[in-house]
Amino acid sequence: MKKINNPPIEWLGNRVRILDQTRLPQEEVYLELNNYQAIASAITGLKIRGAPAIGVAGSYGVALGALEIEAKSRDEFLRRLQGISQTLAATRPTAKNLFRAIDRMQQVAAVGEDIEQTKKALIDEAVKIHSEEVEATKKLSQLGAELIQDGFSILTHCNTGTLATAGYGTALGVIKRAKEQSKNIKVLATETRPLLQGARLTTWELKRANIPFTLITDSMAGYFMSRGEVSCVIVGADRIAANGDTANKIGTYSLAVLAKENGIPFYVAAPTTTIDLSLASGDEIPIEQRNPNEVTHIQGVSIAPEGINVANPAFDVTPHKYITTIITERGIIKEPYGEELK
């Protein structure tokens, strides 16, 4: 299996190297970021994306920001670190992983005494958050692969692999693990409008993993489901509310409803860092609204008249009743999600 040459995100001691996902699949360009503002704009600009990867990037951002602070007192250090954390938290609202990672970093900062020691502790914590995500995605992929049978044709949406997780992957991790178990599987990958994470990134990862796949447009999913050509749907998640309602890439809800109508199992794969028990239901999940240009343009080329009304919600919420199982590193759960998630 061909590996991504360098990890999609890596801590290099005093800077962070990321693979610029906006340039894929045409070019494999690595960027070295040495300040927290650069991390924040890489997250906003989707150079690094996917819920777990955003969490990892956010924690490295806090660590970089801490290194930049020259403070006369511990209070000043903490105040400035708070500002840095707020900038990073303001990048993307939906993925829980980002807020969880930043909270963890704040907690580490709060207990330190000496500023230089706190900076070191923050770097250690960010590296730990990263390695925990790697382990969690490996584990959940192993557990989820049990649901994939030999001969399955699996439909997946968006990109949920190494690129999106800075680890092994969530939905795509499950698919990769099933392939490593020598199961004869094939994948239908949706292109994932408007930003084409499926067409650009998932196909790039599937090709490298030697997994047979077919790229389809988002609107073709029902056609293939109704013809009996989909054995299961598996997607990742950006935030899972306490009742199991799940926010994921726009279009996921439509796939879930279609899957139910066609009697096809619908699986969600996510590390527990994506779960937000503080929200009772998906109604409370903040949904990111992105720039209309992403809809009116494809890779910089305009495809619509100027001055028209455009909507661009980046995520939608799939009610838990459409979800067959949620796969986490701590186990595979079913309804009643309210009790199982706790």
- Which residues are designated catalytic? 238
109 close to 118: Cβ distance less than 8 angstroms: yes
Question: Does residue 196 bind ligand MRU (CB under 6 A)?
Answer: no
Nearer to ligand MRU, 288 or 335 (CB): 288
The only residue of 19, 42, 147, 164 in contact with ligand MRU, by rule CB under 6 A? 164
Among 205, 238, 245, 329, binds ligand MRU (CB under 6 A): 238
**Considering only residues 117-146, where is the footprint of ligand MRU by CB under 6 A?**
none
- Provide, rounded to whole angstroms, the least separation between the CB of residue 317 and ligand MRU: 12
Candidate segments 34-42, 234-242, 303-311, 318-326, binder of ligand MRU by CB under 6 A = 234-242
Query: Which of 141, 190, 197, 325: binder of ligand MRU (CB under 6 A)?
Result: 197
In the chain, what are the helix, strand and coil shares in percent, each to the nearest 5?
45, 15, 40
Q: What is the DSSP string of 164-179?
A: HHSSS-SHHHHHHHHH
Using CA atoms, how far apart are residues 139 and 175, in angstroms rounded to an integer? 13
Radius of gyration of the chain (CA): 20
325 binds ligand MRU (CB under 6 A): no
Any contact of residue 170 with ligand MRU (CB under 6 A)? yes
Q: How many CA atoms lie within 13 A of 168 on its CB side?
A: 27
Kind of pairing between the strands at 153-156 and 186-190: parallel
Asked if omega into 194 is within 30° of 0 (cis), the reply is yes
Cβ distance to ligand MRU smaller for residue 53 or 67 = 53
What track of x and - describes contact with ligand MRU for positions 283 through 322 (by CB under 6 A)? -------------------------------x--------
Sole binder of ligand MRU in the list 248, 273, 324, 328 (CB under 6 A): 248
Q: If we measure between CA atoms, which residue out of 146, 45, 143 comes closest to residue 92?
A: 45
Per rule CB under 6 A, count of chain residues that contact ligand MRU: 17
